[in-house]
Structure 1
Amino acid sequence: MSRRRLDIVIVGAGMVGLTQAALLAVRHPQLRIGVLEASTDAPRIAPQHYDPRVVALTKGSQNLLEEVGVWGETTARRACPYTVMRVWDADGTGSVCFNSRDVQMPNLGHIVENNVLTAALWARVAQLPNVEMVTGFRLENWWRDCGHWFLQPRGDDENVIEGLQESVDTVSTRLLIGADGARSRVRDLLRIRASDTVYRQMALVCIARCERNHQHTAWQRFLKSGPLAFLPLEGLGDDNHCAVVWSADDELARELLMLDDAAFALNLEKAFESRLGAVESVGERLSFPLRARHAERYFGPGAALIGDAAHSIHPLAGQGANLGLQDVRVLSEEIARALKRGLEPSDASVLSRYQRRCRGENAATLKAMSTFKSLFGAGDLHWRWLRNTGLNMVDASPLLKKRIILRAMAV
C-alpha cells in the first residue's frame, strides 16, 4: 500500500470531471493531475445501438472539447449536428423556430451520446502523461494538514492507478475538485448545503425510430404535464432515429413506464403530434426523478465544486452539461491566473473568483428553468395566452432570435 502525492485531484470521471482533468493537463504539463473514480469500468459504446442518454452541446462546449483533443474522436464515432430547433405549445398556437442560418453558422450545436463523449475523454486522459486515473476509489475519509487534503477510500476497496498497477490507500493533493454528481460526497464532506427543488416529475429517455427523417432538427413540444423533446441522431445508417426526453408528472410517468413498447410508441406519437410520422419502434426506457439543486457555495478550504456537484438543473433547455463545462473553463482560467502570480491553486482568493464568475449566472439559469417549467405547466387561460403570445413574438423578431441563439451558443 502507498500514499500518492498529486497537485490537483478530481473526484468523479464523468464528462465534466474528465474534461477538467484533460484541460488542466494540456495547459499545465508541469502539474500532476489525479482522477478518482468509484467505478472500475471504462465507458463502452455499443456499435449498433444508440445510448438513450444524450447531451446537446453548444459551440462553446465544442471549442473546449477541441482544445483538450477529443472533439475529432467524438465526431468520428457519433455526433449529430442540428441546424434547426422548433418549439411549440401543446395548449395553443404559439411556436418559435431557431435556424443556424439566422446567425450564419453551420449548426446550432450537436447531439452527442453520453457514453460516446465519456469514452473519448477516458481515452484522451489515458494518453496524457501527467494524469493518473485511480479506479475503484470510493471516497470515505479525509483530513487536511499543511494545506493538503489527504483522501482515503473505503477499507474494502482495491484502488489501482491505471498504467502503474499500484495499490493506493491514501492520495494527497494541493487542490481537490468535486465533480462527483448531484449527490456529491465531496460537497457533503465539505458541509456545503444545497437548495433542493423537487419537481414531482420524472424524465423518461429512450431511442425512437420514426417514419420520417429528423431533418437535423431538435424538436420540443411543451405539454401541460412537462416538455417532450425529440433530438436527432445519426451514425447508424439513417436519419430516422431520435433520442427522446419526456419529462412527465410522476403519476403519468409511472403509467408510461408500465406500457409495452407498442402502446408506449403510440402514446409517444400522439404526444408529439406525429411531427415525424409514425413512431415505428422504441428502445429500452430509462427514467430518473427531476429536481434542481444549487450549492450555497462552490468552494471550501482547498476544494472546489464543478458540474452537478455544484448545480443540477431541469433538462427542458438541455443546458446542464454546458453549464458544467463552463465551470471547467472558468476554474481552469483562475488556476492559470494563480500559477502565473505564484499563488497556490487552492488559495481562497482563486476559488472565490471562480465562484463569483459562475454562481450568479448559474443561479439565473436555474431560476429561468424553474420559471419556464411553471409557466408552461400552468393551464389557466391567462397564462396560456401569455406564453403563446410570447413564443409568437419571439418568432416574429429576427433580432431577438439572433440574440437568443448567440447567447445560447456561447454557454
Structure 2
Amino acid sequence: MATQYDVIIVGGGMVGLTMAAALAKTNLQIAVLETGSFRHLSTGNWLDIQACEPSDYQNRVSAISPGNQAYLSKLGIWQSIPESRKANYQRMKVWDGDGDGKIAFDAADLAVPFLGTIVENQVIRAAALASLQAFTNVETIENSQVAAISESNQIVTINLDSGEQLACQLLIGADGALSAVRQQLGINSQAQSYDQTAFVANVKTEFAHQDTAWQRFTQSGPVAFLPLPDPNLCSIVWSIDSDQAEALKPLSESAFVSRLSHAIENRFGKLSPISKVASFPLIKRHSERYLTQQCVLIGDAAHTIHPLAGQGVNLGFQDVECLSRLMQSLIENNRSWTLMANLRPFERERKAENALMQNAMTGFKWLFGHTAMVPTLLRNSALNFVDNAAPIKHEIIRRAMGI
C-alpha cells in the first residue's frame, strides 16, 4: 500500500529543500525525496560560526541576489548561514579580453551595502535542511530513486527503485537538469549545447580580490573570479569552448591554474590551487511545459542557463517563490491547489521570465564569442556606453539584484 502525502518534492538540492521550507507552514504533509544522503549536511560543519580553513570551502558556489536573500530570510534559511561562509561582493568588474570595452558596478552608486553574496551550494542546502527541523509535517526520504510515475484519479503514484510506493496530490520535480521526473512524465525539453565546458575550482591568490566579482570575456569563453570570505581566496568558473577544454582536463592542478592565471591576465598574481578542479558541459535546456495534470517542474528540472551571469539558482528560487505564493493563495481561498488550470499562472509567469534570461545569456555568449571586427567593435562600444550611462547601468544591476 502506498504511503500517502499531500505534496512530494523530488530533489533535495537547494531549490527542492527551499520549496519544502516555503510550503512547511501550510500544514500540508510533505515529503522530500533525495537520491543521495542528507547525513553529510546535518552532521558537517557547514553552519559553524568559526572561520574556515581554505581547504574547507567547496568548489561549487552560487551568487545569491539580495532579493533572493530577503526571500530565504523570510523562510528562516539565510540567517542561519554563518558570516564565515558568506562573501559579500561590493563591486563587479567585467571587461573584454579583445578590446578596451569594460563595465564596472559598485554598490556605493546604489547606496546599498553589497551587490550579492557568494555562498557554497552545500551550505545553502544545509541551512535549508536545518530550517525544516522545526516542522513535523515535512519528511525527508534519502537514497531513493524514482522508477515510475503515474497520474490518475487526482492521485500521483510514485514507484521507487526499492519497491516502495508513495502517493500524493501534487508532485513537484526539483531534481536537476537530468530530471527523472521530467523524463518519466514524457515532458519534452528543448536542449541546445553551448559547446562549452565549465571548470570550477577554488584558488589562493597573491593579490586580494577586494570584495569584487571579476569576469573577463575571451574568444573561447568567460572566466570569472568570485570572492570567498578570505580576501585571498576565490572560487573560479571558467567556461571555455569544448574543443579547447579537452586540452585542460588532463592537466595537473598546478598546470591548470597556470593557464587560468594567463586567462585572467595575471590580475591576481601567483595562483595556488586549494581544491580539485571539476568540469561539466554547458547546455541550455527549457521544458516545453512546466505542468502536467498534477505535477510541476521547477529549477533546473525546468530550465538551465549559461553561468556567465550567475543567475541559475536565483531563477530557481524565484520559481519557488512564485509557486508557493500561488499555492498558499489557493489554499486560503478554498480553491484547488492541485488543479492544473489553477496553477497555470505560475507556468505563464515563470516560463516567460526564464526564457527571457536564457535568451539574454545566449546573446551575450554569441556576442562575446565572435572575433570578427564588427561584433568586437559593437560589444566594446556597448560596454563602454553602458558604463558611462548611469541610469541604464543602475537599472541593469537592480534587476540582477532583484530589488
Aligned partner (choices 139, 143, 154) of residue 136 of structure 1: 143
Question: TM-score, normalising length from structure 2?
Answer: 0.94
Contact 1:211–1:277 (CA<8 Å) still a contact in 2? yes
Q: Can you give the 5+ residue segments of structure 1 that lack an aligned partner in the other structure?
A: 157-168
Distance in structure 2 (CA, Å) of the matches to 1:85 and 1:25: 36
Letter in 1 for 2:60: R
Distance in structure 2 (CA, Å) of the matches to 1:229 and 1:246: 6
Partner of 2:88: 81
Which has the higher mean CA deviation after the structures are superposed, 398-407 or 116-125? 116-125
User: What's the offset of the Cα at 1:149?
Assistant: 0.7
Matches within 5 A, 1:233-272: 233-234=228-229, 238-272=230-264
Distance in structure 1 (CA, Å) of the matches to 2:108 and 2:391: 13
Matches within 5 A, 1:111-260: 111-155=118-162, 169-234=164-229, 238-260=230-252
Distance in structure 1 (CA, Å) of the matches to 2:84 and 2:394: 31
Q: Can you give the 5+ residue segments of structure 2 that lack an aligned partner in the other structure?
A: 47-51
Q: 1:155 to 1:85 in 2, by over 3 A?
A: same
Aligned partner (choices 334, 347, 352) of residue 360 of structure 1: 352
Contact 2:253–2:277 (CA<8 Å) still a contact in 1? no
Letter in 2 for 1:391: L
Partner of 1:67: 74
Q: 1:201 to 1:331 in 2, by over 3 A?
A: same
Q: Does 1:6 align with 2:5?
A: yes
Distance in structure 2 (CA, Å) of the matches to 1:265 and 1:150: 49
Distance in structure 2 (CA, Å) of the matches to 1:363 and 1:290: 16
Q: Does 1:39 align with 2:36?
A: yes
Distance in structure 2 (CA, Å) of the matches to 1:251 and 1:153: 39
User: What's the offset of the Cα at 1:282?
Assistant: 4.5
User: What's the offset of the Cα at 1:401?
Assistant: 1.1
Contact 2:149–2:185 (CA<8 Å) still a contact in 1? no
User: What's the offset of the Cα at 1:136?
Assistant: 1.6
Contact 1:265–1:282 (CA<8 Å) still a contact in 2? no
Aligned partner (choices 268, 273, 279) of residue 271 of structure 2: 279
User: What's the offset of the Cα at 1:126?
Assistant: 3.0
Aligned residues: 393
Contact 2:65–2:402 (CA<8 Å) still a contact in 1? yes
Partner of 1:312: 304
Question: What secondary structure, in the 3-state scheme, does the structure 1 residue paired with 2:88 have?
Answer: strand
Distance in structure 1 (CA, Å) of the matches to 2:213 and 2:292: 39
Q: Does 1:98 align with 2:93?
A: no
Letter in 1 for 2:33: L
What are the Cα deviations for residues 44-72 of structure 1, in whole angstroms up to 9, with x where unaligned?
A: 45753210100000011101110111111
Contact 1:23–1:67 (CA<8 Å) still a contact in 2? no
Matches within 5 A, 1:389-404: 389-404=381-396
Question: What secondary structure, in the 3-state scheme, does the structure 2 residue paired with 1:13 have?
Answer: coil
Which has the higher mean CA deviation after the structures are superposed, 110-119 or 125-134? 125-134
Partner of 2:117: 110
Contact 1:291–1:312 (CA<8 Å) still a contact in 2? yes
Letter in 2 for 1:286: A
User: What's the offset of the Cα at 1:283?
Assistant: 2.4
What are the Cα deviations for residues 260-280 of structure 1, in whole angstroms up to 9, with x where unaligned?
A: 232222211111112222213
Distance in structure 1 (CA, Å) of the matches to 2:369 and 2:150: 46
Letter in 2 for 1:303: C
User: What's the offset of the Cα at 1:211?
Assistant: 0.4
Letter in 2 for 1:284: K
Partner of 1:24: 23
Letter in 1 for 2:20: A
What are the Cα deviations for residues 82-124 of structure 1, in whole angstroms up to 9, with x where unaligned?
A: 0000000000000000011121110001000011111111222
Percent identity of paired positions between Structure 1 and Structure 2 = 41
Contact 1:21–1:131 (CA<8 Å) still a contact in 2? yes
Question: What secondary structure, in the 3-state scheme, does the structure 1 residue paired with 2:359 have?
Answer: helix
Alpha-carbon RMSD across the aligned residues, in angstroms, is 1.4
